[in-house]
Chain A
Amino acid sequence: MLPNRSRTSVLVFLLPPLLLYCAAVLFPILQSLFLSFFSWNGISEMEFVGLANYVRMLTADDIFWRSFFNALLYLAICLVLQLGGALVVASLLTSLRRGRELIKTLYLLPAVISTVAIAFLFVRIYSIDPVGLLNQLLHWVGLGSFERAWLSDVNTVLAAVSAPEGWRFTGLYMLIIYAALIAVPKELEEAAVLDGASKWTLFTKIRFPYIRPVWITTTIMATTYGLRGFDIPYLMTNGGPGQSSELLTTYMYKTAFTSTDFGYASTISVFIVIECLVAVGLILFMLKRKADS
């Protein structure tokens, strides 16, 4: 603590940021909680309905549950692509002698592109008429029977809208994991190699335990980002066909701004917040416990 500080000086530095943060983040969260107990379309009188919105959401709304499970699957696909892909590429990269910087740059490139551009791009990649990149590729490798309109097929659409999100950010997570991997002390690795450790043992026993703290951070980042996924599904399919690519976030958005049901949309928002807090809690709990055992 600075010796000459005064109470005013703390306030001078702290208050402006705190006010902005309260206005943009904290107050809206409380407001959502408040609104979730009301029925309101933005124009008429607000009507207090108690827990009715929550009861409706949890017991009577099939679309809500559909979106919830879709969101979980969306999250799973993103996590596999982002964390799995990042870990594989980062490990491979450490074995490379030259060109690491170039590959890092290229790999991060998609993260710079806006979601709207990515949505356009992938609409064309999945397209069947004119034939898009994916279908053409399948045709070439002799899997022509798999060709389809990926975004209109209810069985593939959810995976099709999840993949671009995963694709977009693998580079980001790869960078973080790579930075952690090259910080693993060389002495440790070489000692293990001397003891005859295989590449796999080297990875599971030395490298991974060493990067575990970073892995926890990355998992939390990827999970919270996955749960707030919105842009790409919204832009590519708007949740369709039917509700087959609807996520909680897109459903909340439509409830709020298409059906102007602000009360019920806030109820869904509150659920999303709880879901995120629970997810982060679970990750910390599981990964910490594994580290202790």
Chain B
Amino acid sequence: MITQTAPSTPRGSALSSTVHQRRRRQPSLYRTLSRVLIMLIVVVQVYPLAWLFLTSLRTEHDFATGDPFALPSSLTWENYARAFETGDLGRNILNSFIVTMGANILIVLFGMMAAYALQVLGFRLSRFVRALFLVGIIVPVQIALVPLFIDYSAVNLLDTYQSMIIPLAGFALPMSIYLFSSFFEYIPRETYEAASLDGAGPYRIFGLITLPLSLNTVVTVVLVNSIFIWNDFIFANTFVLSEDLKTIPLGLQNYIGAMGKVDWTATFAAVCVTITPLLLVFLVLNKAMIQGLESGATKG
């Protein structure tokens, strides 16, 4: 860039000032337009969620008759009381938590182990194994429903936490392996070689070098996967029947009454309660989460 190599010459400064002029002239229209557009799109993304929350505070009468855009005429917490009466929200949240934790432990531990074997240890068929794992990224999860349903009923796993955790972890594993491998690439060879010379075997190197260094990647993997696992509907809906094991998405379905009659304001209150935990995590850790999502795909 000219302005950097020769900032003091007259030619350089003249050029850079025309650049700045262009920059300053163009903004007015282009910038205002893009700002308005961005605001508009943000409203489209966020308003429905704000509306969801406002509706959960409306009285039923207000909801059934009023203008949907209007602010509630009076605020009430009654919907929340009814929401807790209708369903077992605490239980649902606990179940979602157990499933998310269980799956995440498998995803992180196994993802790290496989990446270590593929990237650090290396072996002859590693390309083939990588290709096998790639299949899991492309193939839709629905393919596994019928076979797993049959297999689970054969080994009595239907209606258990494991029935949800196994496929959730299995399908998330390839992406996790991929993220860990691309991180392991950045750990210098010399680190390993030095440790090897000191007599450390593959297990000690894994525990003393690879594991502690990958903590950032662990956070990324956990955050990204938690969004999908916490909200999983299809595996839970297929493999779980008993109320005791229902996760949040299934619990919410209980609010659809018989004959399709729905207590909407209470349902929305329940929705608000159930999205709160993940939303809080997201808002507190959104920097880490955003970084994770960005790095996850740009490296590919």
A interface vs B, CB < 8 Å? 1-6, 9-10, 12-14, 16-18, 20-21, 23-29, 31-32, 35, 42, 85, 88-89, 92-93, 95-96, 101, 103-117, 120-121, 124-125, 130-133, 136, 167, 170-172, 175-176, 178-180, 183, 186-187, 190-191, 193-194, 199, 214, 217-218, 220-221, 224, 227-228, 230-231, 235, 249, 252-253, 256-257, 262, 265-266, 269-270, 272-273, 276-277, 280
Output the least CB separation between A75 and chain B (Å).
Answer: 12
- With a CB–CB cut-off of 8 A, which chain A residues contact B122? 1-2, 5
- With a CB–CB cut-off of 8 A, which chain A residues contact B35? 96
Output the least CB separation between B149 and chain A (Å).
Answer: 8
Contact A230 B143, beta carbon cutoff 8 Å: no
- With a CB–CB cut-off of 8 A, which chain A residues contact B150? 31, 42, 262
| Interface magnitude class on chain B | 35 or more
For A275, give the chain B residue with the smallest CB separation.
B140
Instruction: Count CB-based A-B contacts (< 8 Å).
Output: 286
Contact A176 B144, beta carbon cutoff 8 Å: no
| Residue with the greatest number of chain B CB neighbours at <10 A, chosen from A175, A183, A193, A214 | A175
Known: A179-B298, A272-B140. A35 touches B147 (CB 8 A): yes
Contact A228 B140, beta carbon cutoff 8 Å: yes
278-300 of chain B: CB within 8 A of chain A: 278-279, 282-283, 286-287, 289-290, 293-298, 300
For residue B196, CB closer than 8 A to chain A, the reply is yes
30 contacts between A and B (CB under 8 A): A13-B202, A17-B111, A17-B177, A20-B110, A25-B135, A25-B171, A89-B38, A103-B42, A104-B290, A107-B45, A108-B282, A108-B289, A108-B290, A109-B45, A112-B275, A116-B231, A117-B52, A117-B252, A120-B252, A121-B52, A130-B68, A131-B67, A136-B67, A167-B44, A172-B293, A183-B298, A199-B30, A253-B142, A272-B142, A276-B140
Extra inter-chain contacts (8) besides given A20-B170, A112-B282, A257-B145, CB under 8 Å = A18-B129, A108-B282, A120-B271, A130-B66, A176-B296, A224-B137, A256-B146, A266-B147
- With a CB–CB cut-off of 8 A, which chain A residues contact B65? 130
- With a CB–CB cut-off of 8 A, which chain A residues contact B264? 124
Compute how far the CA of A253 lies from the CA of B63 in the bound complex, rounded to whole angstroms: 35
For B233, give the chain A residue with the smallest CB separation.
A231
Encode B43-70 as 1/0 by CB contact (under 8 A) with A: 0111011011001000000011111110
Compute how far the CA of A133 lies from the CA of B210 in the bound complex, rounded to whole angstroms: 52
- With a CB–CB cut-off of 8 A, which chain A residues contact B67? 131, 136
B interface vs A, CB < 8 Å? 1-2, 15, 18-19, 22, 30-31, 34-35, 37-38, 41-42, 44-46, 48-49, 51-52, 55, 63-69, 106, 110-111, 113-114, 116-118, 120-123, 129, 132-133, 135-151, 166-167, 169-171, 173-174, 177, 192-193, 196, 200-203, 205-206, 227, 230-231, 233-234, 238, 248-250, 252-253, 264, 267-268, 271, 274-275, 278-279, 282-283, 286-287, 289-290, 293-298, 300
For A187, give the chain B residue with the smallest CB separation.
B1
Query: CB within 8 A of A175: which of B140, B173, B234, B294?
Result: B294
Compute how far the CA of A27 lies from the CA of B143 in the bound complex, rounded to whole angstroms: 11
Contact B138 A114, beta carbon cutoff 8 Å: no
For A122, give the chain B residue with the smallest CB separation.
B48
